[in-house]
A and B are shown apart, each in its own frame.
Chain A
Amino acid sequence: MSQTMADPAVAEMVTTRDHMLSEAATIDERIVVAPCEGRFRFLPAEHFTAEGEYVIEGQVIGVVVSTNGKEVDVVTPFSGWVMDFMIKDGWPVVPSEPILWLRPL
């Protein structure tokens, strides 16, 4: 059921809302970052976290395989809708490198 499509009505609503809030603009989005250096890996298919999913604080959203081969969980410190991943499976990461962004409640 997942699909991405732009809806002009929504685009218009967002533009209007952003305009109304322009004097008190805040960024609602949150970034989940890499806990250590290594290669980022998605979770197995049954636990895979994809764009559009809701994640809860403390949930594991992937792992970083560190340079010594140890797997370190990537845990989200926030709850929210996953908007997008900022890296792909297998990409090298350094500590605090952004992995995904999400929109909190």
Chain B
Amino acid sequence: MSNTSTSGTAWMFPGQGSQTEGMLSGLSAAQPLLKEAVRILGPSAQRLTEPRQMTWSTDLVQTAVYIAGAGAANALKSRGVTPSAVLGHSLGEVSALVAADVVDPLDGLRLVFERGKAMTIAGKKTPGGMAAVIGLDSEVVAGICESIGQVWVVNYNSPDQLVIAGSEKSLAAAAEKCLHLGAVKVKRLAVPVAAHTPLMEPAVESFAKVVEQVEFSPPACTLYSAVHAAPNADPDEIKQNIVTAITSPVRFHQTAESVISSGINNFIEVGPGRALTRIIGRTFTDTTVTTAGTDSDAERIANEQTDRPLEVAR
């Protein structure tokens, strides 16, 4: 096993929506965490071991995405591959904390589960939804949201791919206006809450209490927060950010820009799917980006890293 230095490589962790069929089965490093999830979270988590994801609730999907991300990170690390920076998209920020050794993987599991629970309860108190807006400038979309109220831009994925969230009425009104002003598409996401908006405020207090009970260590590599699109090394501030993220937009595009401006041009999407790979590949054409969602991916990266640049996936 080589102890490969991955200087200049950022690991990015996807959030809900990136799940793929069988994402946990090709990842042996995820199995111990999966076992612990079933033990800690009780009988409902038993479904995580079933191949049919249609039976999974949102809480379980989020847990599975986390396990897949943290497991894939373990698969890389166990082969001597380590990141120089980490960033995450929405719940992927918790996986990033684990990859940066800020929190223990089991604490990460608890954070994801409690975060999902708190957001579901908040969603009952203040219902809403989310929708992707394709092909309209972020300032225009933000202006539309502001003029309508109770709807916000919540994901800055790329300059022409945003996500808005808010109350049902406001979301539909914003969708209508976005299309009238030239958006190519506005598509509803199957997320039953208005995540990353002030409507999630009821989740903040209970999640903050859980976060307070978890030990956060200084990161072992540069940890980027998508709340501020900037690195953060202070455990107390990291705690604050992970709580604030519930009601704050995911500035993924701006965060990736920060990573690149620090001199890093190589990205690995660690976890299921290729959503972030596609975003980075299309937006930042001078970067290399690949995915690590399985044992074989980790093996390939460990073997390739010392020999040649990562495959460019567009």
Whether B275 lies near A1 (C-beta < 8 A) is: yes
Q: Which of B29-37, B56-64, B96-104, B232-240 contacts A (4 or more CB under 8 A)?
A: B56-64
Q: A56-B176, A105-B173, A105-B176 are in contact. Are A7 and B58 (CB under 8 A)?
A: yes
Whether B189 lies near A56 (C-beta < 8 A) is: no
Query: In the assembled complex, how far is the CB of residue B128 from the closest CB belonging to chain A, in whole angstroms?
Result: 11
A interface secondary structure, majority: loop
Q: Mark B205-244, 1 if CB is under 8 A from A, else 0.
A: 0000000000000000000000000000000000000000
Alpha-carbon gap, A105 to B151, bound state (A) = 14
Alpha-carbon gap, A4 to B17, bound state (A) = 10
Alpha-carbon gap, A46 to B135, bound state (A) = 12
Q: A residues within 8 A CB of B127? A: 13
Whether A56 lies near B179 (C-beta < 8 A) is: yes
Whether A5 lies near B187 (C-beta < 8 A) is: no
How many B residues, CB 8 Å from partner?
Answer: 31
Q: Mark A76-105, 1 if CB is under 8 A from B, else 0.
A: 000111000000000000000000000001
- A68 contacts B by Cβ under 8 Å: no
- A26 contacts B by Cβ under 8 Å: no
Whether A54 lies near B123 (C-beta < 8 A) is: no
Query: In the assembled complex, how far is the CB of residue A2 from the closest CB belonging to chain B, in whole angstroms?
Result: 7
Alpha-carbon gap, A3 to B172, bound state (A) = 19
Alpha-carbon gap, A7 to B180, bound state (A) = 31
Q: B residues within 8 A CB of A105? A: 169, 172-173, 176
Q: A residues within 8 A CB of B190? A: 2-5, 52
How many A residues, CB 8 Å from partner?
Answer: 23
Whether A5 lies near B57 (C-beta < 8 A) is: yes
- A21 contacts B by Cβ under 8 Å: no
- A50 contacts B by Cβ under 8 Å: yes
- B266 contacts A by Cβ under 8 Å: no
Q: B residues within 8 A CB of A13? A: 124, 127
Query: In the assembled complex, how far is the CB of residue B80 from the closest CB belonging to chain A, in whole angstroms?
Result: 33
- B54 contacts A by Cβ under 8 Å: yes
Q: Mark B171-191, 1 if CB is under 8 A from A, else 0.
A: 011011001100011111110
Query: In the assembled complex, how far is the CB of residue B215 from the closest CB belonging to chain A, in whole angstroms?
Result: 30
Query: In the assembled complex, how far is the CB of residue A85 from the closest CB belonging to chain B, in whole angstroms?
Result: 14
Whether A54 lies near B132 (C-beta < 8 A) is: no
- A10 contacts B by Cβ under 8 Å: yes
Q: Mark B112-156, 1 if CB is under 8 A from A, else 0.
A: 000000001001100100011000000000000000000000000
- A53 contacts B by Cβ under 8 Å: yes
- B291 contacts A by Cβ under 8 Å: no
For chain A, residues 1 to 29, give those with C-beta under 8 angstroms from any C-beta of chain B.
Answer: 1-10, 13
Whether B172 lies near A53 (C-beta < 8 A) is: no
- B309 contacts A by Cβ under 8 Å: no
Q: Which residue of B lies closest to A79 (CB)?
A: B176
Q: A residues within 8 A CB of B51? A: none
A-B contact pairs, 11 of them (CB 8 A): A1-B163, A3-B19, A5-B57, A7-B58, A13-B124, A46-B184, A53-B188, A54-B188, A55-B179, A56-B176, A105-B172
Listed in ascending order, the chain A residues whose CB lies under 8 Å from chain B are: 1-10, 13, 46, 50, 52-56, 59, 79-81, 105
